[in-house]
Amino acid sequence: MAAPHEPRADGPGQARIRLGGLAGGSTDATVVALYALTFLLVGFGLIMVLSSSSITSYLDDQGFFGGFWRQATFALIGIPLMLIAAAMPISFWKRWAWVILFAGIVLQLLVFTPLGIEVYGNRNWIQIGSFGGQPSEALKLALVVWIGAVLLKKEPLLGQMRHEIIPVIVPGAVLVLGLVLLGKDLGTTMIMAALVIGAMFFGGVSWKTLGVIAGGGLLAVLLFVVTSPNRLQRIFGFAGGHEDYSGLGWQPLHGLWALAGGGLFGVGLGGSKAKWSWLPAADNDYIFAIIGEELGLIGALLVIVLFIALALVMLRVISRARDRFGRAVVGGVLVWIIGQAFVNIGVVIGILPVLGVPLPLISAGGTALLACLLAIGVVISIARDGAKYQQELADGGF
């Protein structure tokens, strides 16, 4: 008979050991919740990518499973990377923040070389052989980690506007967002701008500085919208109720039809009609429409609930973080992933104009999935450190 302090090989003690290993040596409920929600969203995403991409993959001579296998491959790469990032001590991210940002900027600059390619009018992709990627996705993570490191370093000077703006906004964020905007990707630029404000808000920057930054950002967005006929058409098409059936209104119109066709319980997994070449980007920007069509209002609400749960868990990580770095980084990632999710959903249900951003962790897109998984890995790293910090406080270590 096993001793009382020795877990049986097939008993609950062994399960706890395995779970502790997965969570980087911690069974902290917050860490476990982050893993569980991430795996649920990625797994659900793979199922929906399989369904939504099957027809277009077949028409592209990739077989019915072409899009699924491509996304599954990136998931198999991204999950180990997430586990590695989660196992890193928080000091690693602080120490290498500047190097990570520099590497991200170098990758983004590649889009302006012969390696860069244009997709749907945006030059924010690179193609090396058979591999294509969007460097701006990696740049999101690099930027938020760097902002956290800078705010921590300048902590004694925060409260003075010039120190809160320099170098985070000027030259940092201005340079990074400018590079992405040069590729004409306004949607990604807006998400990155929100990420910057989120990181600064949770990092404790003053309201006065945040107001100045937000005001300047809104003016910049307005300028770039009014100077682009394509963007103006999107806005007016949105305001006009998608009446342009043969032009810019095609995608949002068919997205709404797909959602409406699903009703309460949906037409069944795999039963979408919109994915038969009626809805562009059915497995990417408009995958939420396919979810609504096949799984109905119930399935669509489930996705929203999962993202809300992920937001609540991240807020808990922020509340337990050891320092300003952890709060800023997790806050930035929260605004990035959760904010982008609700922007995507808002576009699909017709309350926002088409911005061309995917649904995080669910939409097809390899570099987007890798970046999100790495970002969550960093959040888990901070959550583990926060759990340790809370234990130290409980033990009277401080």
- Mean pLDDT confidence for 66-80: 96
Q: Is residue 19 part of a domain?
A: no
- Give the confidence band of 366 by pLDDT, cuts at 50, 70, 90: very high
Per-residue pLDDT, 131: 82
Q: What is the mean pLDDT of residues 351-355?
A: 87
The answer to whether the beta carbons of residues 93 and 101 sit under 8 Å apart is no
Predicted pLDDT at 8? 42
- Residue 84: what pLDDT? 98
Q: List pLDDT tens digits, range 15-44.
A: 343 444 444 445 799 999 999 999 999 999
Residue 191: which pLDDT band, with cuts at 50, 70 and 90? very high
Would you say residue 246 has pLDDT above 70?
A: no
Top pLDDT among 280 and 38 is at 38
Q: Is the pLDDT of residue 388 over 70?
A: yes
**pLDDT cut 70: percent of the chain above it:** 88
Asked whether the predicted pLDDT for residue 165 surpasses 70, the reply is: yes
> How large is the average pLDDT for residues 10-18?
41
In a domain, 373, yes or no: yes
Structural domain includes residue 9: no
In a domain, 53, yes or no: yes
Q: Does some domain include residue 8?
A: no
Query: Cα(66)–Cα(54) distance, rounded to whole angstroms?
Result: 7
- How many domains, the chain? 1
Asked which of 69-78, 249-258, 358-367, 389-398 is least confident by mean pLDDT, the reply is 389-398
Residue 7 has pLDDT above 50, yes or no: no
Q: Is pLDDT at 301 greater than 80 in this prediction?
A: yes
* Sign of the torsion formed by the C-alpha atoms of 221, 226, 228 and 233: positive
Q: For residue 11, is it within any domain?
A: no
Given a cut of 80, whether residue 213 has pLDDT beyond it is yes
C-alpha closest to that of 353 among 202, 234, 190, 207: 234
Flag whether 348 is in a domain. yes
Please check the confidence at residue 5 and state whether its pLDDT lies above 50: no
pLDDT at 186: 86
> What was the pLDDT predicted at 356?
85
- In angstroms, the Cα distances linking 258 to 300, 304, 312, 348, 381 are 12, 18, 30, 10, 39
Q: Is 241 helix (H, G, I), strand (E, B) or coil?
A: coil
3-state DSSP helix/strand/coil % of the chain, to nearest 5: 70, 5, 25
Q: Which of 115-124, 186-195, 252-261, 378-387 has the highest mean pLDDT?
A: 378-387
294 in a structural domain: yes
pLDDT bin (cut points 50, 70, 90) of residue 9 is: very low
Enumerate residues 6+ apart whose C-beta is below 8 A from 175. 105
Parent domain of 369: 27-393
The two three-digit tokens of residue 53, written as one number: 């991409």
What per-residue string of b and e applies to 230-263 under the rule 16 or more CB within 10 Å gives b? Answer: ebeebeebbeeebeeeeebbbbbbbbbebbebbe
Does a cis peptide bond (omega within 30 degrees of 0) precede residue 360?
Answer: no
Quote the pLDDT of residue 238. Answer: 58
Q: What is the largest CA-CA distance in the chain?
A: 78
Instruction: Round the average pLDDT of the chain to a whole number and report it.
Output: 89
Q: What is the pTM for the complete model shown?
A: 0.90
pLDDT at 230: 64
For residues 330 and 201, the answer to whether their CB atoms sit within 8 Å is: no
- What was the pLDDT predicted at 98? 97
pLDDT given for residue 353 in this prediction: 86
Looking at per-residue pLDDT, the higher value among 277 and 290 belongs to 290
